[in-house]
Amino acid sequence: MRFSQSLIPTLREAPANAEIPSHVLLLRAGLIRQLGSGLFTWLPLGVNVLQKVERVVREELTKRGAYEILMPFVQPAELWKESERWQVMGPELLRLADRHDNEYCLSPTHEEVVTDLFRNNVSSYRQLPCNLFQINTKFRDEIRPRFGVLRSREFIMKDGYSFHLDEETFDATYQAMYDAYAAILTRLDLDFRAVEADPGLIGDGDSHEFHVLANTGEDALAFSQDGDYAANVERAEAITEELRPDSKKDLTKLATPGVTSIESLVDFLEIDIVSTVKTIIVEGKDSPIALVLRGDHELNELKAARLPNVVQPLRFATEEQVLDAVGCKLGSIGPVGLEIPVYVDRAAGVLADFYCGSNETGFHLSGVNWDRDVSCDNNVDIRRVQEGDPAPDGSGPLSIVRGIEVGHIFQLGTKYSRSMQASVQDANGVNVFPLMGCYGIGITRLAAAIVEQRHDEIGIDWPTEASPATLHVLSLNAERSELVRTTSNQIYSDCMNAGIDVLYDDRPERPGVKFADADLIGIPHRVVVGERALNEGKVEYRYRRGETSLVEPSDIVRRLNA
RNA sequence: CGGAGUGUAGCUCAGUUUGGCAGAGCGCUGCCUUCGGGAGGCAGAGGCCGCCGGUUCAAAUCCGGCCACUCCGACCA
């Protein structure tokens, strides 16, 4: 690729509307341009990266028995109505009509279409298991696109779907896909974690997410430093090892004028926050429902939403609903005397002599004890785990890091095969609904996640397998030197003939400009062709930011292939 | 959708408070000098000041409406 003839519009300054490193650097290094909110054009260098990432993904999947297909991006509404997702999904599903007024959607994912394909073409258990994938554009009308290509509306994803007659073959494929994802991220030289995940609304079985670790990640991951436990904090179980001590104090009502938060209660009474509980009222199917947490803990909304009779998705009660159900304002709620269902988090349930709201505005209670003063029958896990909490499998304290979710694998069970009547005949001639698995990995998101994890103050640091090129050749002042010109042209054509990807900076720019752009773009191998070294018959070779060495021009290809 | 902010040259941004010739730096074109880490000089090109309407002798600037983009929140295979 000749720099001068390609379209590589590098920028000296960061565009004003880019905030995070991957967005800034992909723009500055000339890999992408933004068209609109959540919509991006990929320029030549960017397309190279996508193709490299796709190649790694394809190789790891096909060697594990998955076959590539390509399904339509625009899909008829009928299929989505069959699975009922037309009704269930909100405005993130972009719907449109054609000239005949028929309804369609832009596909965010392809379960319906692949299941339809399967039922129309597979009818015997002899054809199972079947594992298909595609790499295709997706569209999700995100409420708020952000973080550049990390959360865009239109994006490229590899999505795969497998069909199975029994658990055994399903488990084997699930494990193979798990291994494929780990292999992909390993080849891309990324620091990543596979974690237990919440399957969301898609399925109900096992689910794992693959996260690239980065400070800008949207997800928090909990993992034990010593053991194998790793989970999304949304999913991580919070266990409590302490036992409840005996009560020592009497229940006492305290006047606490103006105290409406745990922080102000702690300050006002000069007490330990760990001796307090907070009570949160959420909407329930029959009546509001109270959730009790230790003062320093945070509610895990996914856990709370799974409690019986809690509405899904979780909604906090309004001030009016609280006044109606409890009889006080938001800052004075407590579990004692409530006539609505009360769920107590495990950690709150082991407290004795604690402080809480009195359900009377302006007053709190001290010396409160479970069983004696208020029932603690519904002891549940509803809090977010914190740094230092014990891992639920006993493997030591948890650390919490941030990650970018690049892959997600699910067990779909028979949800789609059943709702779309995609049955096959088993060996006994009985029609059965196959088990399905679903495996996604974001191509464009992965490209951004790489930059997010691998950059420094001067630019990107591409892993070899995702780099827009293997080698960056800079010819310095070629217009003044016949020798520089012919040598760099020779290196370029030698590499092309040897199948090595080269970005050849043949522009008539000053050396400083070329060096700065090379640092920014971040291709791992660099060869500088200039008069200085050519006087000794050599060119300068450097691996990323390592030491420079002088090598024979004719030796470049051999070195890169070594 | 709620809250905050920004829209002026390809990019970064002044100018808007107090209405009066459309600006700077970088980038781009040409010439000269320089020539291994974003050079210097000279001469240029480049604008629907987001859009529509209003006020005014006069609007980038004031008023009304709309749109786009960014950030915070709710949402998220």
Can you give the pLDDT at residue A138?
95
Nearest nucleotide, CA A410 to C1': B77
User: Residue A374 domain-assigned?
Assistant: yes
Distance A16 CA to B18 C1' (A): 29
Give me the number of domains chain A comprises. Answer: 3
Which residues have CB under 8 Å from A510's CB, separation 6+? Answer: none
Residues A257 and A296 in one domain: yes
Q: Nearest residue (Cα to C1') for B72?
A: A144
Look up the domain containing A555 and give its range. Answer: 469-561
- Tell me the nt nearest to A108, Cα to C1': B77
Sign of the torsion formed by the C-alpha atoms of A240, A242, A247 and A252: negative
Q: Whole-number Å distance, CA A36 to C1' B50? A: 14
Which tokens sit at A124?
């015997």
Helix A167-187 vs helix A44-62: crossing angle, to nearest 10: 140
Give pLDDT tens digits along chain A (562 positions). Answer: 999 999 999 999 999 888 899 999 999 999 999 999 999 999 999 999 999 999 999 999 999 999 999 999 999 999 999 998 998 888 889 999 898 999 999 999 999 999 999 999 999 999 999 999 999 999 999 888 888 999 999 999 999 999 999 999 999 999 999 999 999 999 999 999 999 887 655 555 678 999 999 988 888 899 888 888 888 888 888 988 888 999 999 999 999 988 888 888 898 999 999 999 999 888 888 888 899 999 989 888 888 888 888 887 778 887 778 888 888 887 888 999 888 999 999 999 999 999 999 998 889 999 999 999 998 888 899 998 988 899 988 888 999 999 999 999 999 999 899 999 999 999 999 999 999 999 999 999 999 999 999 999 999 999 999 999 999 999 999 999 999 999 999 999 999 999 999 999 999 999 999 999 999 999 999 999 999 999 999 999 999 878 999 999 999 999 999 8
Nucleotide nearest A151, from its CA to each C1': B76
CA of A24 to C1' of B41 (A): 34
Query: Does residue A375 sit in the same domain as residue A481?
Result: no
Query: What's the confidence (pLDDT) of residue A200?
Result: 56
Neighbours of A116 (CB within 10 A): 21
Å from the A141 CA to the B16 C1': 36
Structure-token pair, residue A434: 């196959």
Q: How far is CA A480 from the centre of its chain?
A: 50
Query: Do both A194 and A84 map to the same domain?
Result: yes
Q: Which nucleotide is nearest to A474 (CA to C1')?
A: B36
A190 and A41 in a common domain? yes
The answer, yes or no, to whether ipTM is higher than 0.90 is yes
Q: What is the CATH number of the domain that holds A320?
A: 3.90.960.10
CA of A37 to C1' of B68 (A): 9
Distance A73 CA to B51 C1' (A): 33
Q: Is residue A556 part of a domain?
A: yes
The Å distance, CA of A512 to C1' of B26, is 15
**Distance CA A177 to C1' B58 in A:** 71
Which nucleotide lies nearest residue A530, CA to C1'?
Answer: B36
Check whether residue A133 and residue A209 sit in a common domain: yes
Protein-contacted bases of chain B (C-beta within 7 A): 1-2, 6, 11-13, 25-27, 34-39, 68-77
Q: How far: A23 CA to B37 C1' (Å)?
A: 25
Within-domain flag for A283: yes
CATH of the domain at A480: 3.40.50.800
**Last residue of one domain, picked from the residues A391, A424, A452:** A452
Q: Judge if A114 and A173 occupy the same domain.
A: yes
Per-residue confidence (pLDDT) for residue A17, from 0 to 100: 87
- If you measure CA to C1', which residue is closest to nucleotide B37? A512
In chain A, what percentage of residues exceed pLDDT 90? Answer: 69
Q: At what angle do helices A21-28 and A443-453 cross, to 10 degrees?
A: 100
Question: What pLDDT sits at residue A396?
Answer: 85
Rounded to whole angstroms, the distance from the CA of residue A28 to the C1' of nucleotide B11 is 10
**Looking at the structure, do residues A74 and A213 belong to the same domain, yes or no?**
yes
| Nucleotide nearest to A412 in CA–C1' terms | B77
**Are residues A68 and A192 both part of a single domain?**
yes
Q: Which nucleotide is nearest to A533 (CA to C1')?
A: B36
The verdict on A134 and A226 lying in the same domain is: yes
In a domain, A388, yes or no: no
Residue A375, pLDDT score: 87
- The domain spanning residue A112 has which CATH number? 3.30.930.10
The strand pair at A548-551 and A289-294 is best described as unpaired
Using the C1' atom of nucleotide B1, identify the protein residue whose alpha carbon is closest: A143
Closest nucleotide to A313: CA versus each C1': B75
| Strand arrangement, sheet containing A471-475 | A502-505, A471-475, A525-529, A539-543, A548-551
Q: For chain A, give percent helix, strand, coil, nearest 5.
A: 30, 30, 40
Same domain, A531 and A434: no
Do the beta carbons of residue A454 and residue A463 sit within 8 Å? yes
Q: Name the protein residue, with chain letter, whose CA is nearest the C1' of B39.
A: A510
Q: Report the nucleotide nearest the CA of residue A479, measured to C1'.
A: B35
A332/A207 same-domain check:
no
Q: Give the distance, in angstroms, between residue A35 CA and nucleotide B66 C1'.
A: 21
CB of A476 closer than 8 Å to CB of A531: yes
Are A59 and A131 found together in one domain? Answer: yes
Per-residue confidence (pLDDT) for residue A204, from 0 to 100: 57
